[in-house]
């Protein structure tokens, strides 16, 4: 996060001097990322010189990098472009007045300060000075919170996209299933029709022309009756009263919708009604 802040202030780091004040674990973790920016110089200063030297060794820092004396802190701050402070001091080590004088020596050259100490190493007033970019743990936490919100928002958007893609996929699969279902239904009905047609034609061939006029209405009525019964046998069997009420209601509603049947007990109004012919088996002499 400190690196992201630094990139907002500086275009590059090859000519920049970085200064770390403190040699604890927090400083070490942050310096690993600052070192990767490949600054011109990376200095470490600490009240205990030995800890600073050990940190320099851990980070494999060589000249022009390395350890600087804590007594020279003001001079180091005049030279530094980026300052990381993470000491365990009970009081701020960089007061507003102290840093104001440092900025005069810097001729107001911009400086970027990241204060990750708790309590803070840098007084809040330092951040009000011209060309001083001060960020502390509170600022970092706010940015982390914003980033988390953005990630949550992106996650929600991604989830929505996944849901839409899943719905589209399911819709396509359902359309394919419906297409196959319609083809299967057509094939089944054609099979019924062809069977009854063959049966009726066989009967027609067995009667004389003189008998045809008399028997044809009965043959057609029988043909229609048998065909209708075959088509409706399986659907009507699903309306068996022994089924659960919910299943029975579902099938009844489906039949009404599929065949555009009236709801309730009213009889269907059929245009050009034809008196049904009682079906009977035609017996030939």
Alpha-carbon distance of 150 to 98, in angstroms, equals: 39
Per-residue pLDDT, 97: 96
Radius of gyration of the chain (CA): 45
Collapsing DSSP to helix, strand or coil, 22 comes out as: coil
Q: What is the pLDDT of residues 105-137, one digit of tens each?
A: 999 888 989 898 888 999 999 999 998 988 888
* Strand partners of residue 198: none
Alpha-carbon distance of 35 to 47, in angstroms, equals: 21
Q: Is the pLDDT of residue 275 over 50?
A: no
Q: In the chain, where are the structural domains located?
A: 2-140, 207-285
- Average of per-residue pLDDT across 260-268: 66
Q: Is the pLDDT of residue 274 over 50?
A: no
Query: Rounded mean pLDDT of the chain?
Result: 78
CATH 3.40.50.720 assigned to 2-140: yes
Alpha-carbon distance of 42 to 62, in angstroms, equals: 9
Q: What are phi and psi of 235, to 5 degrees?
A: -60, -45
Q: Is the pLDDT of residue 86 over 60?
A: yes
Alpha-carbon distance of 243 to 80, in angstroms, equals: 85
Share of the chain above pLDDT 70, in %: 72
**Structure-block tokens of residue 60:** 């494999």
Residue from 8, 44, 34 nearest 133 by CA: 8
Distance of CA 284 to the CA centre of its chain: 74
Per-residue pLDDT, 273: 45
- Average of per-residue pLDDT across 234-259: 75
Cβ atoms of 82 and 18 within 8 Å: the answer is: yes
Q: Map tokens 């004040």 to a residue.
A: 21
Cβ atoms of 1 and 144 within 8 Å: the answer is: yes
Q: What are phi and psi of 66, to 5 degrees?
A: 130, -170
Alpha-carbon distance of 122 to 113, in angstroms, equals: 9
Under 8 Å CB-to-CB from 27, ≥6 apart: which residues? 20, 21, 44, 55, 84, 86, 116
Q: Map tokens 């851990």 to a residue.
A: 58
Q: What is the pLDDT of residues 140-176, one digit of tens each?
A: 666 555 555 555 565 566 556 556 655 655 566 566 6
* Strand partners of residue 112: 82, 133
> Which letter does DSSP use for residue 272 in this model?
S
- Average of per-residue pLDDT across 180-197: 82
Q: What are phi and psi of 233, to 5 degrees?
A: -55, -55
């Amino acid at each position: 996060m400190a690196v992201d802040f630094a990139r907002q202030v500086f275009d590059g780091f090859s000519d920049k001097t970085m200064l770390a004040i403190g040699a604890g674990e927090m400083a070490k973790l942050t310096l690993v990322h600052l070192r990767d920016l490949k600054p011109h110089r990376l200095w470490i200063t600490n009240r205990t010189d030995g800890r600073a030297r050990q940190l320099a060794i851990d980070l494999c820092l060589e000249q022009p990098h390395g350890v600087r004396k804590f007594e020279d802190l003001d001079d180091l701050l005049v030279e530094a472009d980026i300052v990381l402070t993470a000491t365990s001091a009970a009081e701020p080590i960089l007061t507003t007045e102290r840093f104001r004088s440092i900025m005069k020596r810097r001729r107001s050259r911009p400086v970027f300060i990241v204060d990750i100490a708790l309590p803070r190493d840098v007084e809040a007033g330092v951040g009000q000075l011209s060309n001083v970019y001060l960020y502390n743990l509170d600022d970092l936490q706010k940015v982390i919170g914003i980033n988390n919100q953005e990630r949550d928002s992106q996650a929600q958007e991604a989830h929505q996209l996944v849901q839409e893609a899943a719905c589209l996929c399911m819709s396509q699969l359902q359309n394919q299933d419906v297409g196959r279902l319609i083809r299967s239904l057509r094939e089944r009905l054609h099979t019924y029709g062809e069977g009854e047609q063959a049966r009726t034609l066989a009967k027609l061939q067995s009667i004389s022309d003189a008998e045809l006029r008399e028997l044809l209405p009965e043959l057609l009525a029988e043909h229609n009756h048998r065909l209708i019964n075959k088509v409706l046998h399986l659907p009507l069997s699903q309306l068996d009263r022994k089924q659960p009420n919910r299943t029975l209601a579902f099938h009844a509603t489906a039949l009404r919708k599929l065949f555009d049947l009236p709801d309730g007990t009213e009889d269907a109004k059929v245009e050009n009604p034809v008196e049904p012919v009682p079906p009977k088996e035609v017996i030939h002499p």
